[in-house]
Structure 1
């Protein structure tokens, strides 16, 4: 986990070059990351997801893969967004541009994600059982069905963001 602002304000997760994944806490032990006995690891499956967001089965649940860019990513609960920092001069520039970027984004087709509760966001190469505080961020989601949409936005000449919006459509 990387902090660019004051500690505890915004927590960013970075990857070693592959996708990030949001795995429900209830199925974390079933995510093997790049480890495993299978010919295609969980990490390989995550790398095969096309585009900015996709869903993968994990145990008896489903994880959200944030693909396309290995960008530093934070979840902003007040906006219901994963914000992926593709290019910007500072965290301040990224965070200041989020409200207008989200309001004007051209959202792609939505996915439907069943979420049993909190998820952990981390580099898809890590196994779910080997996470430490520095490797991941806990995202406290309410149980229910979420519509997930993604958009690439350029809110300024030197600022590019990927946004992944979570919209609770059916609380449980």
Structure 2
């Protein structure tokens, strides 16, 4: 039986604390606006300790983004598994984002400036919902417009509101405030006209 030493456990705890601290700071200040020394100070470790756990700043950012994107994708899958309609799926998607909204919003705003690995992780979140989205469209017989185009319209609508959250919900919580509006607006675009 291979048990971890107290030193190994401490090292894992420090790394987890750095990732969690980075998440909090990135959510508030942005990824590009955060220095590694800010994270080290907030985590009560030396600046050098950050680089004992992560070889470069880019590797650190990528690991934080990867970890939380995995969390968002997991929540999205959990919520989506019980959906029977496109409306339910869109609502579930927004619920998955809402739990991590400040961080997700930073990803939306800064995605083009992220290191490649971090950007790939963010794109993987979109893939997580895209699969469920396509299945919901098929179930409802909404195949006259390519699923990819509809999905991009949905993501564009959601990301537009998040990127302009200071206008739509200055107090924060864009998704909570506009969840019904986003869902209803998107579905109205798909209504068949007689």
Q: Shorter-chain TM-score category? A: under 0.3
- Pick the structure with more helix per residue: 2
Normalising to structure 2: TM-score of the pair?
Answer: 0.24
Normalising to structure 1: TM-score of the pair?
Answer: 0.26
Higher relative contact order (CA 8 A, sep 6+): 1
- Pick the structure with more strand per residue: 1
Larger Rg: 1 or 2? Answer: 2
